[in-house]
Amino acid sequence: MAEPTGVETAVIEAEQEDFSPEEFPSEYTTESAASADAPVRKPVTTGNSYGTGRRKEAIARVRIVPGTGKWTINGRSLDTYFPNKVHQQIVNEPFVVLGAEEAFDVIARIDGGGVTGQAGALRMGLSRALAVLDVENNRPPLKKAGFLTRDARATERKKYGLKKARKAPQYSKR
């Protein structure tokens, strides 16, 4: 048999070496040293919680406090601010999902947008406030229901040469 060359000799020697176990850790972790030492944030348990929601052009700033289910939206009650039952149902959905319909009083300030956009913004702000209040128990059902996801759809701008965003003037062959 032929003598091994220099490269082959190095490969054979590397295969025969005994590596010590301290050179290779038995377990690997995905955490960096900085994140492993980071303090754990405790959820807010005081009962008061804040959340901001946006939908289309509407912005809702929501505060929830333990109470009896009283709604105050821009100084008015839920029934007078949202007379439509569909909008009332949209706004109340986070409480229904969590089974806490009359556990909190809601104080909200809503600016901009139309009625449906304001209802969606209020629902998102309320959901965010509830999620911050008890992260382990409230966040998963609200996330599953889709209340913590921002609906990014907005009105498309009008383009020049068109009547609306996409509507073109009537075509005439001659």
The structure's pTM equals 0.70
Query: Is residue 36 scored above 60 in pLDDT?
Result: no
Q: How many structural domains comprise the chain?
A: 1
Per-residue pLDDT at 40 exceeds 90: no
- Whether 44 is covered by a domain: the verdict is no
Q: Answer yes or no: is 141 within a domain.
A: yes
Q: What's the pLDDT band for 16 if we cut at 50, 70, 90?
A: low
In sequence order, what are the residues at sequence separation of 6 or more whose Cβ sits closer than 8 angstroms to the Cβ of residue 136? 43
What is the average pLDDT across 46-67? 91
Residue 156 domain flag: no
**pLDDT band, very low/low/confident/very high, at 10 (cuts 50, 70, 90):** low
Q: How many CB atoms lie within 10 A of CB 145?
A: 15
How far is 31 from 168, CA to CA, in rounded Å? 55
Residue 124 lies in a domain: yes
Domain with 97, as residue range(s), is 49-145
Q: How confident is the model at residue 164 (pLDDT cuts 50, 70, 90)?
A: very high
Q: In the chain, where does DSSP find H-type helix? A: 6-16, 33-37, 78-81, 85-98, 115-133, 135-145
Domain assignment of residue 133, yes or no: yes
First-to-last C-alpha distance (Å) of the chain: 92
What's the CATH number where 90 sits? 3.30.230.10
Could you tell me if residue 157 is inside a domain?
no
Establish if 25 belongs to a structural domain: no
Asked if residue 8 belongs to a domain, the reply is no
pLDDT digits 0-9 by tens, 91-150: 999 999 998 888 899 999 999 999 999 999 999 999 999 999 888 889 999 999 999 999
